[in-house]
Each structure stands twice: as structure tokens, then as C-alpha cells.
Amino acid sequence: MAHDHDHHHGHDHGHDRSQGAHPFQPDLEETPLTHYQAMTQAVGDLLIEKGIITADELRAMLESIDAKSPAAGARMVARAWVDEAFKARMLADVNAAAAELDIDAGGIPIRAVENTPGVHNVIVCTLCSCYPRLLIGLPPDWYKSRAYRSRTVREPRAVLAEFGTTVPDDVEVRVHDSTADLRYMVLPRRPAGTEGWSEEDLAGLVTRDCMIGVSLPKSPEPQPRA
């Protein structure tokens, strides 16, 4: 099981989740800033004070990140399924391949790892929640949870099974640990029965969880015979 523990994180977004339908959530003003939250705020204030960016530019960037969805990553996966040359370029350099489709993947390097008949990949960030947001949207709460971050490294098959993904014993599970300097996304296998499908229809099969590696694209339902 391959993973990398060489982290150089500049933030910490781990969260504990309480049990119950409506867990208590204190107002942000009621809790002290963490070290990294204070550092982030100070850097933002300094950039604005020095005239490097404006407050409006910072707000616009945050809004842009918050608005991202898995659609961009799904487009890339669909193109890779129908274009072997593009898939090779994507596996070599996700950021450059994204630019070919007019997708801004950001400045942090992203590495695509391909599922094959003998290998299943799953992504985690063991120290916080590093994640290719510009390609697959905001990370889900469970991705940031301490349980997922710790258990996925120790018992990946058990964690995958809880998502309904059973990996056969003869398939190797590889866990990839994202860092502040390198992010990962999974290139899932194309489902059987999709021969001749358009890229748009194929992209509709690709979900955020598929690109994290905790689930698989669903095969199309068989059509009833006339």
C-alpha cells in the first residue's frame, strides 16, 4: 500500500463530528482562532496592506473556490476515457492537461492515479484536507474527519467497504497522501456498456467520490428489449 507521509502543510482543517441529527455548532466568534487560522488571516491582511491584492480580489478568489464543483474533473476523466493520447498527457501532468480543456487547475501540482484491473487507488490527506478543489469542488466533511484521515491509511479496504466499495482480494489498494505541495485525483475505470457514449454522457457517470477513490462509476442500467 503506497502512500507518502512527507507533509509540509500550511493549514489544519481537521474536524470532530458530534453524533446526532443536529450536533452543537458554536459560533465562530465563540471559539479562539487556531494558529493556522490566525496566520492565514494575518497573511491576507498583510497582502492587502502592501497593495499586492485588494480585499475585493481576495473575496472574489474565495468565492470562486467555493463555487467549484466536480464537473471540471469529470470532463477530464471523460476525455481520458475516449482519448488515449489525452489520458497519457493527463497522467503525466494534470495541470497542463486541464489547460487543454480551458480548465484552471491552479498552481499546485496535481497527479492523476489510474485505477486498473489490478490496482484501486484512494486519496486521503492524513494531516488536514489537502485536495484538488479547483477540479473536484470542496472536500466533503467526511474527507476532513479524523476517522477517515487515520483509518484510510491503516485499513483502507474496511473504509472502502463502508462506502459500498468492495475491492477483491487480488486487487492491490494504494493509498495516496495529498500534501500542500502535491494533490491527487483518481482516474477511475470506464464502466462496461458505455461504448459509443458521448463525452458529455460519460462525464455524467463521474462523481466526486469516484475521483477520491471511495466509489466507482456506476455501470448503465441495461435497456429493456423491444
The one catalytic residue among 129, 178, 210, 215: 129
The one catalytic residue among 18, 64, 128, 219: 128
- Residue 68: the pLDDT is 55
The one catalytic residue among 130, 178, 210, 215: 130
- Please say if the pLDDT value at position 3 is more than 90: no
Instruction: Give 42-61 pLDDT, tens digit per residue.
Output: 887 888 888 888 877 766 66
Q: Is 125 marked active-site?
A: yes
- Measuring CA to CA, which residue among 187, 220, 158 is closest to residue 75? 187
Is the entire prediction scored with pTM above 0.75? Answer: no
Instruction: Give 96-138 pLDDT, tens digit per residue.
Output: 999 999 999 999 999 999 999 999 999 999 988 898 999 998 8
- Please say if the pLDDT value at position 34 is more than 80: no
Q: Is 210 marked active-site?
A: no
Lowest mean pLDDT, pick from 9-18, 116-125, 178-187, 202-211:
9-18
Q: Cβ of 181: how many Cβ atoms within 10 Å?
A: 13
The one catalytic residue among 69, 125, 150, 210: 125
Q: Identify whether the C-beta of residue 3 lies closer than 8 Å to the C-beta of residue 176.
A: yes
Q: Is 145 marked active-site?
A: no
